[in-house]
Structure 1
């Protein structure tokens, strides 16, 4: 029995474990599936024996996978080639297979390598936000910063990623609670939409739906939103909504400086918002947001529904852009007031004001 035949015999004898499945094993080609019981982490290894193997040439390695990126396959192939060259003159097939299996086990986050690289690329222009990898726990931790404010969370990558969305946990922040709730809720919603089809899909659309990767989309949202909060201006007074120092954030929801976020995405001082909603004019369709432009992270598409869809708007939201303002109906769950009620309150306020003026005139 020659050298290659003995090595093939060793491969057959050692590929009976659950993490390895032998597909083909002959002098022309050895094909093996790694982690076959975990389809979302599986990889196929093809080995060929060149001439002068193993004395002068190392074994030839080719990797295939439906779940790992081409960049990862290329990098791992390079590592396997280098590992094989270190064992010239010896059987290399089992060494290569065990090296590849150990690499996949030690680096569970390689399933989302491209997304992690993209996040790192985005962070090059952001010198304050941070990204950390926890390979042992298969987690990605980010700390997003904007001014003196931060938002930290951990995204755990499940075994059946990307069919299952990342699990977001451990959120910490010094932002006001209204913004912390928004970041927590919206990031989870983005992750959910990546893996769950919309409710109103045709049978054909539902059959063609495929889960998409959720790590980059969720963390990118958190990075951008946190970066921008401290720069946002109140559309009424045109001053920054958040104080420069987080310790000066107003926590009393009755205070005029308390921060409110409305459904079009814009931030307001509570006092400014109340004043704007309580003064005329009172259009029948409700007041529109006076912000100079539409917010990049608007929730309006989720609450206005399909009835607001019109041609000519990429978002499907009916806007009044005649003066380049936001143009989305101003709504907030704490101030749901009909036009008649608003007009009545304004009339009462004006009547009281006139009464006070008459009293002042009488006393003078």
Structure 2
């Protein structure tokens, strides 16, 4: 029996016993084909082994990796690592060794399944306009990715845990910490989770055909990129009324009293306002029938009135949906906020009452003079 025939026989007998989570598909002297993690489609990989001439004396075994889950970049890099590993075992049987090496690599590096997303996030962290202090940390043992997003002196930290069934199941976002105002932290926490959820759960109102064609998409990059970009932009956003930055330069100067004029409010269209500016704007005429519209000079990229995952859309006060307009138009979305639900009639009555009091005061002053 030749060396290769003997190795193939030994491989057939020992493979699935010595290398866990593997299944032999083909095992012959011309080709060995084995699936790693065949019971987990979201982690599976196929290893093809061939015996070249002069094997194993001067030439290592030939390795080809295939997968619908892992990126071509990962397959190429892992193939290179296996080739270097096999070269250290010339003159010895290599099939079982390289298969065990590949299986162990996938086990030790569970974040391999989202390698492309991690590369995209690293590029986003280093993109122009992004704080150089923003960081991305990988924790293979915990299958998690930690993002520390910076915007000026403001920080937002979040940990995305990648589940075993990823991408069929969305990442779990936890451990959020920030020195941003509470209203913005709640927004970041809630919206990032919603983005991750939308990646794996179809919309409620979906036709049967569309529902049948729905496929989960990867959620790591989408949810963390949102956190990165939003944190980067908060500290430079201007109040549409006074045209000054909404956030103070120093996080320690954030107003905590929700009745103070400098308290920060975020409205439905996504823009940030000083509470005093928003009160003044909403309490002064004109009072259009459909309610006041946001006076910001452009629509907000992270408006609640548009769908983050799909084509951006703007909902008008009448319920109609308009396509996203150019960056140069006024926001024009109806101002809406839980604390500022006032009808036109009530606003007009309050304004008239305020003007009447003002005239009375002026008459008194004139009389005393």
Q: Normalization by structure 2: what TM-score?
A: 0.94
Q: Deviations over 1:332-351 (max 9, x none)?
A: 11111111111111111111
Hey, what does 1:42 align to over in structure 2? 44
Q: Deviations over 1:162-205 (max 9, x none)?
A: 11100000000000000000000010011011111111221111
Could you tell me how far apart the structure 2 residues matched to 1:329 and 1:80 are?
60
Could you tell me how far apart the structure 2 residues matched to 1:114 and 1:16 are?
30
Residue 26 (structure 1) aligned to one of 25, 28, 33 = 28
Hey, what does 2:198 align to over in structure 1? 193
Residue 121 of structure 1, CA deviation: 1.3
Could you tell me how far apart the structure 2 residues matched to 1:101 and 1:194 are?
29
2:106–2:112 Cα contact (<8 Å) kept: yes
SS of 2:64's equivalent in the other structure is strand
Alignment CA distance shift 1:98-1:323 (3 Å): closer
Question: Does 1:58 find its partner at 2:30?
Answer: no
SS of 2:58's equivalent in the other structure is coil
Hey, what does 2:245 align to over in structure 1? 240
Could you tell me how far apart the structure 2 residues matched to 1:308 and 1:180 are?
30
Question: Does 1:166 find its partner at 2:178?
Answer: no
Residue 308 (structure 1) aligned to one of 295, 317, 320 = 320
Could you tell me how far apart the structure 2 residues matched to 1:250 and 1:83 are?
59
User: Which range moves more in the overlay, 36-45 or 256-265?
Assistant: 36-45
Q: Deviations over 1:253-292 (max 9, x none)?
A: 0000000000101000000000000000000011110000
Could you tell me how far apart the structure 2 residues matched to 1:293 and 1:266 are?
10
Could you tell me how far apart the structure 2 residues matched to 1:356 and 1:75 are?
80
Residue 322 of structure 1, CA deviation: 12
Hey, what does 1:355 align to over in structure 2? 360
Hey, what does 1:257 align to over in structure 2? 262
Unaligned runs of 5+ in 2: 308-313
Hey, what does 2:113 align to over in structure 1? 111
Written as runs of structure 1 = structure 2, the 5 A alignment for 1:1-364 is: 1-17=1-17, 18-125=20-127, 126=130, 127-301=132-306, 304=315, 307-310=319-322, 313-314=323-324, 324-364=329-369
Unaligned runs of 5+ in 1: none
Q: Normalization by structure 1: what TM-score?
A: 0.95
Could you tell me how far apart the structure 2 residues matched to 1:11 and 1:39 are?
24
Hey, what does 2:311 align to over in structure 1? none
Q: Deviations over 1:14-34 (max 9, x none)?
A: 223451111110011111011
